[in-house]
Amino acid sequence: MKLHGLRQAIALSLSAGMVLAVPAVVPQFVPQAVLSQAEAAKVGVAWDFKKDLDGWKYGGKWAYKGKPEIEHSSEFGGTVRLGVDFSQVADSSWSEVKLEYGAAAAKPLNLAGTNVIAYDFYFQPKNMTGGQFKTKVYAKDASDVEVMNAAPDIDLSKAKDVGKGWKVVHVAVQVPEVQAPLSYLVVSVVGSNTDYKGDLFVGHLRVSHEAVADGYVDVTTRVQPQAKLNASALPLPSVAPLVDKDATQRTAQTYAMLKGIAATQNVVYGHQNEMNRKVSTLPGRSDTYDIVQDYAGIVGVDGLALTGDELELTDAERAAGETYASKLARLVLPAVQDGAVLTMSCHMPNFAEVAERPKLNGAYDYTGYSPNHTGGNVVSRILPGGDLHDVYTGYLDLVADFLGRMQAADVPVIFRPFHENNGSWFWWGAAYCTPSEYKNLFRSTVEYLRDEKGLHKLLYAYSPNGPIKDAADYAARYPGDAFIDITGFDLYHRDPQKDDMWMKGFDATMDVVDQFADAHGKLAAVTEAGILVGNTGGALAKTGNQRTDWFNEALKTIAPHKMAYFLTWANFNEDNFDQPYLVTAKRGHEMVNKFIDFYNAPSSIFAKQMPELASITTNIVPAMSTYGYLTAPGATARVLAPTTITARVAGEEKTAQFVLKKKDGTMFATIPATRKGDALIGEITADALAAAGQTVGTIALELDGETADSVMVFYNMPAPAADPARVDDFESYYGDGGLLKAAYSTNCGAGCTVEPLLTDAHQGGETGLDFHYTIGKGGYAGIIKNLDGVDWSAYDAVQFWVTPDGKGQKLICQLNANGEDFEVDLTDVAKTTAPQLVTLPFSSFKGKNGGTFDKSAVQHFAIYCNTIGDATVDSHLYFDDIRAAKK
């Protein structure tokens, strides 16, 4: 998920981390050069950099443009100087410069017993206007096993002056206690949405042991052997209605098996990055397997692994010709062989940004994490015929390489692109594309992978973000039955409290998706769920979790529904994980015993419990033998002159026509559709336009007398004059509430709702906005308007009229620039009831990541209301004339 946009899609950039104060007792440090292995283990190691780099060197970079300068310096008594320029990547939340202890490759470094890596970080505040720094500590032992991976923020607020404008902050990172000699050790400086340009210095680097409370618990619950499900005991469907009529038998068997499980009280447990990311340093690929000697029944991977974000290649692997795709395929196969089903999501890069990068060996560079960069009007531009379409299909070719390897190994994959599409945190979100653009992107992606790349082992999943209000809410961007096999949703439990009502809202959303799946003949699933603690976009807390039996609670809530599985997100490191883990064979995270209880529960299904597919017989039928969808005009297009209507069609329809209607449903024209290959074409004539008059209306494609697709358009209604300062005056919807809702996306907590409505309560013109919200304990609800990177350089504030409701709930005004949310708290305003003009200087907006607001590229405007107190609040706030202004 990734509420407000980031969350776990890239693990390290989202870690809450740990920056510790200087220890009260500083251990004795001896320069590494004079220590024996045994001595190093006892007292720790320090590098003072008085004469040289003490064995450290430049270790590479990630998402950093150019090459940083790394050299020894006599400044501050001996340091490593890093000459850096993060200004070229200031929009990136993760730009990494690595310091590597090169001597460890020749002679493994013995740090046994140590658990803290610390250094002094020197910087010039004048060299940056915003953003922050993180540090990353990463290490492998001599067996090439990852033993350290931590990435906390560097807390610049704790820095002290050291003269001439320089400041220093002590950075200390707690890591798992080192057990074996290290062959690879890296300490990185990471720029996060910062434009810092100039020198940084790292000094007094040391590794030590500190006695700290680790928060772990002893494993006291015993894993009980679980029986394999008997396929013959499941209510298996006799037919599998699939998107791909040429799907393989094993794909159909997988679908039928999951459908049969969904009809019982059993629920398959899934875990993202199960085989390519883990917290524990114990041998093996999976935190799940460490605990219960079994893999998750659904194993998730992401396209980020194919570009190096969530997977690494060693020099030896590269030399052997291994690629990210081949390595990922190799890693997941053991779980699949034990019975697990593979699912793939894609946190795709912003392809507008990809197009601007230099090519690498003639190919587009898809590296880095930018799905949360929402500018560039990406969706419309990557559709067939768009100027970025080849950039997009180049990425799909990378995905198809991996999926093709799975197909060759006879492994079906649940493919889940463009998830959480009704939110505003990804460039494919509702704030950044019309419903028809989103649907057509999903549709064309299916057709490319299925029809052009010849991939026939895929099941296609649709997964908007929850909570879901009703079937209409769920269907708002649904691509259609011809393109979806699995109807799912994502929903996270934000800051769980012992007596909150989240499970009730979770249950209500499953009711909606259950009913939708039944009505459309689809398989249903909880495609993502889990806990989010804090405001950093993280996951489970290391200690102090309020609902330590959450997995069993979720299982009991899901089991009565027809949900085949639920998937929790990934375990990246101890600062960002969604599932308990072990630190030794007998100790682990505070929820580990409850997780074993969850495994032991009869209704939870893991890999070894999955039924044998070979015994399942089912017949494949096409989800729809004939289908079609409109490609032009798109939703909310303005039809002002004679226009060509185009559509794609598949199958053998007997009749096809386009039907044009007015707002009141009156049909004013039917247009014959002429087929040319896979296309249908018709013409809106001048006479038809004259018959329409000036109205909001629809264009529908009818195949064999049934509506196959429909879009809402403006007939003879020119767009209002452009005004870059205007967010919304609510006059351009012509009294049509549907148009208003199409212009805003919503984001709500479990059990909460918000509905943007037109209202007579206004301060100018004829209409205003009714922000109708319902929120409960720990809840929130918001609406988001896409501004598409508008330039507000000529302004210094945002302004609007508001009539508060006096309920005193937490009212937030939010702007987004460069992928970062900036907010102002207006709770004091919400305590009043009188209409008032509110003017908020840009300087009053605080960035969630500590960045500086870029008024030259504003991506969205949002209003949120968060619950204060325990009571449910159902109320209305009224807004009008929202715009950029000068103070």
Q: For residue 268, count CB atoms less than 10 angstroms from its CB and return exposed for 0-12, middle for 13-18, buried for 19 or more.
A: buried
Please tell me whether residue 450 adopts helix, strand or coil conformation. Answer: helix
Spatial distance between the Cα atoms of 144 and 226, rounded to a whole number of angstroms = 33
Q: How confident is the model at residue 8 (pLDDT cuts 50, 70, 90)?
A: very low
**Paired tokens of 1:** 């998920």
Per the prediction, the chain carries an average pLDDT of 91
The one-letter amino acid code at 387 reads: D
Q: What is the dihedral of CA 153, 154, 155, 161, to 10 degrees?
A: -170
CA gap 480, 386 in Å, rounded: 22
pLDDT score of 500 = 82
Residue with tokens 């508060």: 804
Q: Which pTM does this prediction carry?
A: 0.76
Lowest mean pLDDT among 14-23, 105-114, 240-249: 14-23
Write down the pLDDT at residue 362. Answer: 92
pLDDT class of 215 with cuts at 50, 70, 90: confident
pLDDT band at 538 (very low <50, low <70, confident <90, very high): low
- Dihedrals phi, psi of 829, to nearest 5 degrees: -65, -40
pLDDT beyond 50 at 16: no
- Contact yes or no for 775/866 (Cβ under 8 A): yes
How does residue 537 score in pLDDT terms, banded at 50, 70 and 90? low
Residue spans of alpha helices (H) in 562-694: 592-600, 686-692
Closest to 4 measured CA to CA, from 534, 551, 767: 534
Read off the pLDDT of each residue in 246-255 and give the average, rounded to a whole number.
98
- For residue 58, what are its two tokens? 């430049």
- Rounded to the nearest 5°, which phi and psi values hold at 270? -120, 155
Instruction: Give the helix/strand (H/E) hosting 251.
Output: helix 249-262
Give mean pLDDT, residues 679-699. Answer: 96
785: CB partners within 8 A, 6+ apart: 431, 727, 728, 743, 744, 860, 861, 862, 882
Specify the 3-state DSSP secondary structure of 26: coil
Please tell me the predicted confidence (pLDDT) of residue 34: 37
Interval 471-508: pLDDT, tens: 998 999 999 999 999 999 999 998 888 878 889 999 99
Instruction: For strands 267-272 and 604-605, give the pairing.
Output: parallel
Q: What is the reported pLDDT for 106?
A: 86
Please tell me the predicted confidence (pLDDT) of residue 212. 67
pLDDT of residue 650: 96
Rounded Cα–Cα distance for residues 445 and 550 (Å) = 36
Instruction: Give the Cα separation of 587 and 46 in Å (integer).
Output: 30
As a whole number, mean pLDDT of residues 590-613 equals: 98
- The rounded percent of the chain whose pLDDT value lies above 70 is 94
Task: Tell me the HSE value of 101 on the side-chain side, using a 13 A CA sphere.
Answer: 28
Residues 492/528, Cβ–Cβ less than 8 Å: yes
Separation CA 452–CA 454 (nearest Å)? 6
The answer to which of 354-358, 466-470, 855-859 has the lowest mean pLDDT is: 466-470
Looking at residue 742, its pLDDT comes to 76
- Tell me how far apart the alpha carbons of residues 375 and 570 are, in angstroms, rounded to a whole number: 27
Query: pLDDT tens digit string along 350-397?
Result: 999 999 999 998 999 999 999 999 889 999 999 999 999 999 999 999
Cβ-in-10-Å burial (0-12, 13-18, 19+) of 295 comes to buried
Question: Cα(293)–Cα(596) distance, rounded to whole angstroms?
Answer: 10
Q: Is the pLDDT of residue 92 over 80?
A: no
Range 66-76 average pLDDT = 95
pLDDT of residue 43: 52
* Prior bond of 467 cis (ω within 30°): yes
Q: Using only C-alpha atoms, what is the Rg of the chain?
A: 28
- The three state secondary structure string of 343-357 is EEECCCCCHHHHHHC
d(CA 857, CA 90): 13
Both tokens of residue 753? 């709702």
Give the model confidence (pLDDT) of 632-674 as tens digits: 999 889 999 999 999 999 999 999 999 999 988 999 999 999 9
Q: Is the pLDDT score of 168 beyond 60?
A: yes
With a cut of 90, say whether residue 179 has pLDDT above it: no
Cα 473 to the center of its chain, rounded Å: 21
Which range has highest mean pLDDT (19-28, 72-81, 188-197, 777-786)? 72-81
User: Pseudo-torsion of CA 396, 402, 403, 408, nearest 10°?
Assistant: 140
Residue 37 has pLDDT above 80, yes or no: no
Other Cβ atoms less than 10 A from the Cβ of 71: the count is: 11
- Residue 872 CA, chain-centre distance (Å), reads 29
Q: Within 409-501, where are the H helices?
A: 435-447, 471-475
At 312, the pLDDT band (50, 70, 90 cuts) reads: very high
pLDDT of residue 453: 98
Cα 97 to its chain centre, rounded Å, is 24
Length of the chain, in residues? 887
Q: pLDDT band at 248, cuts 50/70/90?
A: very high
With H, G, I as helix, E, B as strand and everything else as coil, classify residue 400: helix
Question: pLDDT digits over 225-237, tens only?
Answer: 999 999 999 999 9
Distance of alpha carbon 121 from alpha carbon 131, whole angstroms: 16
What's the pLDDT at 511? 97
pLDDT band at 152 (very low <50, low <70, confident <90, very high): confident
Question: What percent of the chain is predicted at pLDDT more than 90?
Answer: 75
Contacts of 363 (CB under 8 A, 6+ apart): 394
Average pLDDT over residues 585-613: 97
What are the phi and psi torsion angles at 519 (to 5°)?
A: -65, -30
Indicate the SS3 state at residue 638: strand
Over 90: is that where the pLDDT of 277 sits?
Answer: yes
Average pLDDT over residues 172-177: 88
pLDDT at 766: 80
pLDDT average, residue stretch 458-481: 94
Model pLDDT for residues 762-811, shown as the tens digit of each residue: 777 789 999 999 998 778 899 999 998 999 999 999 999 999 999 999 99
Please, what's the b/e burial string for 687-720 (b: 16 or more CB within 10 A of its CB; e: otherwise)? Answer: ebbeebeebbbbbbbbbeeeebbbbbbbbebeee
pLDDT band at 27 (very low <50, low <70, confident <90, very high): very low
**Confidence bin at 11 (pLDDT 50/70/90):** very low
Flag whether pLDDT at 91 surpasses 80.
Answer: no
Per-residue confidence (pLDDT) for residue 33, from 0 to 100: 39
Measured distance CA(347)–CA(757) in Å, rounded: 32
